[in-house]
């Protein structure tokens, strides 16, 4: 539900990450609950009445708010609110343009909008341990195996803090965790260390502070992989 709300609030696709092991097997899950007080957040949508009474001329990519989101209209509401979502260059009024400055202006707004979205995505989960010497970072389907590995490492006398990334663009919580640790292991089911790459591209962390534990043989991640991968690099 949060993903749908974010998609509408920021008028952008939201991708939910899963993995093969979750998608292709049956799982026992806790009983699902539903909050009856929930109401969807449709974001900035101008309806027929507002178009008729308050809007002189609707301009699709103009009138941005503090998060650089501009209001939209829905099809079938009013001729006054019609606009064309085009694949080629357009200006902030929603019109076709081949003038570089006009197109660059709307592209710059999108960059600022995506940066603003970082404040609204789910904060990372952090599990801190007494005496931790380093951090461990993972995401998605890696989480249960990494949590189990953290317990095992603690029992073996190597406590570490754990951060589970829950959204991108990264928020302040990720930056703080990286800054608070001398070095971190990034655990991924990826040959190419894509999460580590994103962290080095999108945060201020020096890349030598990030070590990879990569598991991509095809089997689901186990705590054994994580423990061995970390201990072999300490």
**E strands of 159-228, at which residues?**
161-165, 184-188, 210-214
Specify the residue, 51 or 116, whose C-beta has the smaller distance to other proteins. Answer: 51
Residue 184: both structure tokens together: 């971190």
Specify the residue, 82 or 115, whose C-beta has the smaller distance to other proteins. Answer: 82
Q: What is the distance between the alpha carbons of residues 68 and 171, in angstroms, rounded to a whole number?
A: 17
* Number of C-beta neighbours around residue 220 at 10 A: 17
Specify the residue, 85 or 204, whose C-beta has the smaller distance to other proteins. Answer: 85
Closest approach of other proteins to the CB of residue 78, in Å: 6
Closest approach of other proteins to the CB of residue 57, in Å: 13
Specify the residue, 75 or 217, whose C-beta has the smaller distance to other proteins. Answer: 75
Closest approach of other proteins to the CB of residue 38, in Å: 8
Closest approach of other proteins to the CB of residue 26, in Å: 11
Closest approach of other proteins to the CB of residue 81, in Å: 8
Scanning 118-222, the segments in alpha helix (DSSP H) are: 143-155, 172-180, 194-202
Specify the residue, 83 or 183, whose C-beta has the smaller distance to other proteins. Answer: 83
b/e code 162-200 from CB counts within 10 Å (16+ = b): bbbbbbbebbebbbebbeebebbbbbbbbeebebbbbbb
Identify the H or E element spanning 139: strand 135-139
Q: Which residues contact other proteins (rule: CB under 8 A)?
A: 31-36, 39-40, 73-79, 81-88, 96-99
């Amino acid at each position: 539900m949060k993903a749908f709300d974010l998609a509408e609030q920021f008028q952008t696709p939201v991708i939910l990450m899963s993995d093969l092991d979750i998608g292709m097997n049956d799982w026992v899950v806790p009983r699902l609950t539903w909050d009856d007080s929930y109401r969807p957040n449709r974001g900035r949508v101008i309806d027929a009445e507002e178009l008729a009474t308050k809007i002189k001329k609707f301009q699709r990519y103009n009138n941005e708010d503090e998060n650089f989101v501009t209001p939209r209209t829905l099809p079938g509401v009013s001729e006054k609110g019609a606009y064309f979502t085009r694949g080629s260059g357009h200006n902030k009024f929603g019109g076709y343009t081949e003038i570089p400055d006009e197109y660059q202006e709307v592209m710059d707004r999108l960059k600022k909008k995506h940066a603003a979205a970082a404040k609204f995505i789910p904060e990372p989960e952090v599990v801190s341990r007494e005496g931790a010497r380093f951090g461990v970072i993972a995401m998605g389907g890696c989480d249960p195996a990494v949590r189990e590995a953290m317990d095992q490492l603690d029992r073996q006398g190597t406590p570490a803090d754990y951060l589970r990334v829950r959204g991108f663009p990264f928020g302040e919580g990720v930056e703080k965790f990286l800054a608070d640790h001398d070095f971190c292991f990034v655990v991924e089911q990826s040959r190419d260390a894509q999460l580590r790459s994103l962290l080095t591209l999108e945060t201020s962390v020096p890349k030598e502070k990030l070590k990879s534990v990569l598991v991509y043989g095809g089997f689901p991640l186990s705590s054994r992989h994580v423990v061995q991968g970390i201990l072999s690099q300490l």
